[in-house]
């Protein structure tokens, strides 16, 4: 199986179902919640950490082994049980019904995989080894974290604000592009680290108004 179409999904307020209640399921639940998904868990038993999320009303839990009616209405499904047959059945159902599915113990039965990723604010850098070496993906992610620190997330925040101002103050598109190239190739990242967000924001605004 080759996963060669990198994509970022908007799962905000979309039902995401996790079948399973163990450690792998807990990890998958965490990433789905982080991305804003509405998480439903199906499992006869769940870890105390998962039950805590249920009690805090962060996720919903159905104490069953499997429920195909619930699967029908999901945006994506993660099969994370320790039962090979159940995971296979879930994969087959999802494939028949055109539902995105990730099967934790079978790349061949999955329609998508979740890449290792580094996130700094709105900056997301994903690393894929096509499922061949999670350990290598983890190492690359660690290496990237040393190159792309929190200042990149702050810079993106500033650039998003500058983009709206630039639409008003720099009507010439080529000059707008020139302005943004000037900012991102300057020492703005070091400036953010040394002087902070507010001063960096003012510096970018001053540069923008000079165009």
Q: Give, in order, the Cα–Cα distances in Å from 68 to each of 6, 54, 155, 166.
A: 29, 21, 45, 51
Report the chain's terminal Cα–Cα distance, integer Å.
51
pLDDT at residue 130 in the model? 87
Residue 91 three-state SS: helix
Q: How far apart are CA 179 and CA 109, in angstroms?
A: 47
Which of 128, 86, 116, 126 is closest to 103 using CA atoms? 86
pLDDT at residue 153 in the model? 97
Cβ burial 159-179 (10 Å sphere, 16+ → b, else e): beebeeebeebbeeeeebeeb
Which of 208, 210, 201 is closest to 167 using CA atoms? 208
Q: Give, in order, the Cα–Cα distances in Å from 36 to each of 20, 51, 71.
A: 20, 19, 19
Residue 148: partners with Cβ closer than 8 Å, 6 or more residues away: 118, 120, 123, 125
pLDDT at residue 131 in the model? 83
Q: How far apart are CA 192 and CA 183, in angstroms?
A: 12
pLDDT at residue 94 in the model? 97
Which of 176, 131, 172, 125 is closest to 147 using CA atoms? 125
Q: Any idea which fold 15-114 has?
A: Rossmann fold (3.40.50)
Q: What is the pLDDT along the chain (211 residues), one digit of tens a residue?
A: 678 888 899 999 999 999 999 999 999 999 999 999 999 999 999 999 999 999 999 999 999 989 899 999 899 999 999 999 999 999 999 999 999 999 999 999 999 998 989 999 999 999 999 888 989 999 999 999 999 999 999 999 999 999 999 999 999 999 999 999 999 999 999 999 999 999 999 999 999 999 8
């Amino acid at each position: 199986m080759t996963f060669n179409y990198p994509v970022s999904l908007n799962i905000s307020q979309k039902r995401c179902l996790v079948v399973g209640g163990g450690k792998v399921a807990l990890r998958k639940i965490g990433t789905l919640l982080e991305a804003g998904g509405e998480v439903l868990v199906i499992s006869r038993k769940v870890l105390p950490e998962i039950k805590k999320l249920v009690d805090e009303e962060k996720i919903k839990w159905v104490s069953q082994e499997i429920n195909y009616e619930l699967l029908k209405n999901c945006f994506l499904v993660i099969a994370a049980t320790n039962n090979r047959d159940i995971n296979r059945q879930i994969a087959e159902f999802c494939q028949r019904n055109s539902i995105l599915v990730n099967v934790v113990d079978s790349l061949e039965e999955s329609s998508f995989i979740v890449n290792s990723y580094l996130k700094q604010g709105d900056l997301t850098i994903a690393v894929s080894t096509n499922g061949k070496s999670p350990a290598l993906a983890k190492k690359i992610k660690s290496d990237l974290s040393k190159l792309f620190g929190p200042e990149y997330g702050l810079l993106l925040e500033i650039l998003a604000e500058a983009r709206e101002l630039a639409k008003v103050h720099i009507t010439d598109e080529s000059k707008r592009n020139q302005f943004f190239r000037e900012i991102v190739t300057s020492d703005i990242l070091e400036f953010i680290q040394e002087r902070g967000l507010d001063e960096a924001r003012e510096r970018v605004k001053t540069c923008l108004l000079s165009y």
